[in-house]
Amino acid sequence: MRVTEHPIFEDLDTTEYVNITVDGKPVKAVKGEMILAALLAEGIIINRYTTKRHEPRGLFCAIGQCTDCMMVVNGMPNVRTCITPVEEGMTVETQNGLGEWRTEG
Amino acid sequence: MKEYEMIVIGGGAAGLSAAIEAKRHGVNVLLIDSNDKAGGQLVKQTHKFFGAKMHRAGTRGFNICKELLKESEDLGVEVLLNGLVMGIYDGDTVAVDVKVSLTEHKLMMLKAKNIVISTGASENAVRFEGWTLPGVMGAGAAQTMVNYRHVLPGKKMLMIGSGNVGLIVSYQLMQAGVEIKGIVEALPKITGWQVHASKLTREGIHIYTGYTIKKAHGTDRVTGATIAKVNPDWSLVSGSEIEVDCDFICIGAGLKPLTGLAHMAGCELIYDKALGGWAPAHNYNMETTKKGIYVAGDATGLEEASTAIEEGTIAGAAIAEATGHLSAAEAEERKAGAWRRLADLRDGFHGEERLAAKNKQLAEYDRLMGVRE
Ligand SMILES: Cc1cc2nc3c(=O)[nH]c(=O)nc-3n(C[C@H](O)[C@H](O)[C@H](O)COP(=O)(O)OP(=O)(O)OC[C@H]3O[C@@H](n4cnc5c(N)ncnc54)[C@H](O)[C@@H]3O)c2cc1C
Ligand code: FES
């Protein structure tokens, strides 16, 4: 969910979007926002599953300190989505365990 | 290796103020921050600050941030963003991991005889059954997502902790449209300021004093929580459980100074609960027990943006003096002014404990360095 009305922030116009793919599904993200913000706007809150016990993890610190929000971005695992901005055409995938490197093509 | 007269690590209220003060007197300074924008905690603070006009009271945190950023820009402070400082070596060399793009990082080694550590603080966690579930997060994390990124982590929130952060963040989430399902506080009374608590209770939000969280429910995400009464020995009162219908839980259990870099550089740390835990001892100039390494703001004890600004100013003036840009008398005037404002900020009911801790920190520096009165 996005914050659309707010007593202090008036300028919440989000007119410029980019297209990203999350686990194969197309998602519209606000230009320049963090990947994690685009996911929360869609109600997606699981970012990865742990290595040993396969437990879900999601947003915990929002400032790049805890690594709970790591996902596979453009084939690269362990990207902290709370501090990584979206880019047009980006692919984002839920990460399992430590993830695997994948290079395109 | 590129050399500066002064490097500031962390561009929050403290770091920006240190850089501004030094640059104003002509010091060649570089400010480094790990984020894509400087401002630290202030970027997400929507409430108006307390205190007197000279402490920018009545101005919203994010607007104070804009003022500081503008001042630093107007003065031409050199800023390195997306730069995470990983270490301080030999007391004068700073290693920075600079994020260039998603796949490219570069390592930079920079030198300065004067380094200010103003890295702020990190949030404390609380562990309970289900605390790793998606939907359990730091109160500051929720504040960042809502006030800075403008997205909501959920619709119905339970807050753990009634300190100022817990209270202020609850109120701000409510303003953004979140339903606040309650605030639990293990101690018998609200620990934050009454004015923040009243804003919530007036809206009918219940603050459960003497309660803690027992469990977060859910398998893939938070679907609810159980809270229960706490005995004086911290065990739970059986039969006192209350079910809370929430889809996310915020932990507002305080913050602790980020002391990693200071510790690595060999600065002596002291422990005080009122400071948030371990923090570097420092002198009147904000210089630590390591010559040329200074501290300011939350990194040297949890306080406020207003105190962070003054501490940064002191460090900036002291470094301008150390580098010969200010005479001892000129520097003393700047420092004494900032210390007077600090004394005002630490005056009164809310400041007593902090003032005592801060004085201990200064005394501890003298003891460690063998300074005689
Ligand atoms: C909810 C809330 C409400 C508050 N309300 C008030 C109030 O009403 N009045 C008031 O005066 N204060 C208030 N404060 C406190 C105030 O915001 C802080 O005390 C102050 O902003 C701290 O400033 P700082 O510069 O020390 O740290 P920060 O603002 O935390 O800045 C530290 C900066 O350092 C960067 N950094 C950290 N480590 C590194 C590294 N290794 N390399 C590079 N960069 C790094 C961080 O990214 C960050 O930008 C509040 C705080 C919170 C959380
Ligand atoms: S949420 Fe902690 S690193 Fe992203």
A2/B122 CB distance under 8 A:
no
Q: What is the ipTM of this complex?
A: 0.94
To which residue do tokens 């309970």 refer? B128
Q: Are A33 and B149 within 8 A, CB to CB? A: yes
Q: What is the pLDDT of residues B61-117, one digit of tens each?
A: 889 999 999 999 999 999 999 999 999 999 999 999 999 998 899 999 999 999 999
SS3 sequence of chain B: CEEEEEEEECCCHHHHHHHHHHHHCCCCEEEECCCCCCCHHHHHCCCECCCCHHHCCCCEHHHHHHHHHHHHHHHCCEEECCEEEEEEECCCEEEEEEECCCCCEEEEEEEEEEEEECCCEEECCCCCECCCCCCEEEHHHHHHHHHHCCECCCCEEEEECCCHHHHHHHHHHHHCCCEEEEEEECCCCCCCCHHHHHHHHCCCCCEEECEEEEEEECCCCCCEEEEEEECCCCCECCCCCEEECCCEEEECCCEEECCHHHHHCCCCEEEEHHHCEEEECCCCCCECCCCCEEECHHHHCCCCHHHHHHHHHHHHHHHHHHCCCCCHHHHHHHHHHHHHHHHHHCCCCCCHHHHHHHHHHHHHHHHHHCCCC
Mean pLDDT, residues A15-28 taken together: 95
B137/A7 CB distance under 8 A:
no
Tokens encoding B253: 């259990």
Average pLDDT score, chain A: 92
Q: What is the pLDDT of residue A6?
A: 84
Q: What is the pLDDT of residue A92?
A: 98
pLDDT band for position B49 (cuts 50, 70, 90)? confident
Q: State whether residue A10 sits within 8 Å of chain B by CB.
A: no
Q: What is the pLDDT of residue B53?
A: 54
Q: What is the pLDDT of residues A57-94, one digit of tens each?
A: 999 999 999 999 999 999 999 999 999 999 999 999 99
Q: What is the pLDDT of residue B25?
A: 98
**Ligand 2 center to A81 CA (angstroms):** 7
Would residue A57 count as lying in a domain? Answer: yes
B221/A45 CB distance under 8 A:
yes
A61 in contact with ligand 2, CB cutoff 6 A: yes
A69 in contact with ligand 2, CB cutoff 6 A: yes
Q: Tell which atom from ligand 1 comes closest to the C-alpha of B32.
A: 43
A82 in contact with ligand 2, CB cutoff 6 A: yes
3-state class (DSSP) for residue A39: helix
A3/B146 CB distance under 8 A:
yes
pLDDT band for position B282 (cuts 50, 70, 90)? very high
Q: What is the pLDDT of residue B51?
A: 58
The answer to whether residue B185 scores a pLDDT higher than 60 is yes
pLDDT band for position B316 (cuts 50, 70, 90)? very high
Q: How far apart are CA B141 and CA B32, in angstroms?
A: 22
To which residue do tokens 């059954």 refer? B129
Minimal C-alpha gap between B140 and chain A (Å): 7
Task: State the residue range of the domain holding A21.
Answer: 17-96
**Ligand 1 center to B305 CA (angstroms):** 7
Q: How far apart are CA B334 and CA B64, in angstroms?
A: 21
Mean pLDDT, residues B351-366 taken together: 93
The answer to whether residue B24 scores a pLDDT higher than 80 is yes
Mean pLDDT, residues B204-232 taken together: 97
Residues of B in contact with A36 (CB under 8 A): 145, 149
**Domains by residue range for chain B, with CATH:** 3-122+255-372 (3.50.50.60), 125-251 (3.50.50.60)
Q: Which of A60, A71, A78 to mutate to test the pocket of ligand 2 (most atoms within 8 A of CB)?
A: A60
How many domains would you assign to chain A? 1
Q: Can you give the CATH number for the domain in which A37 is found? A: 3.10.20.440
Select the more confidently predicted residue: A11 or B283. Answer: B283
Would residue A44 count as lying in a domain? Answer: yes
The reported pTM is 0.94
The answer to whether residue A10 scores a pLDDT higher than 90 is no
B141/A57 CB distance under 8 A:
no
Would residue A77 count as lying in a domain? Answer: yes
Q: State whether residue A65 sits within 8 Å of chain B by CB.
A: yes
Would residue A8 count as lying in a domain? Answer: no
Q: Select from A81, A85, A86 the least CA-distant residue to A69.
A: A81
Q: State whether residue A9 sits within 8 Å of chain B by CB.
A: yes
Question: In this structure, what is the dihedral angle of CA atoms B334, B335, B337, B343, given to the nearest 10 degrees?
Answer: 160
Minimal C-alpha gap between A20 and chain B (Å): 15
Of B135, B142, B176, the CB nearest to A45: B135
Show which of residues 22-51 on chain B sit within 8 Å of chain A, judged by CB atoms: 34-36, 46
Size of interface A-B (CB pairs under 8 A): 99
Show which of residues 102-121 on chain B sit within 8 Å of chain A, judged by CB atoms: 102-103
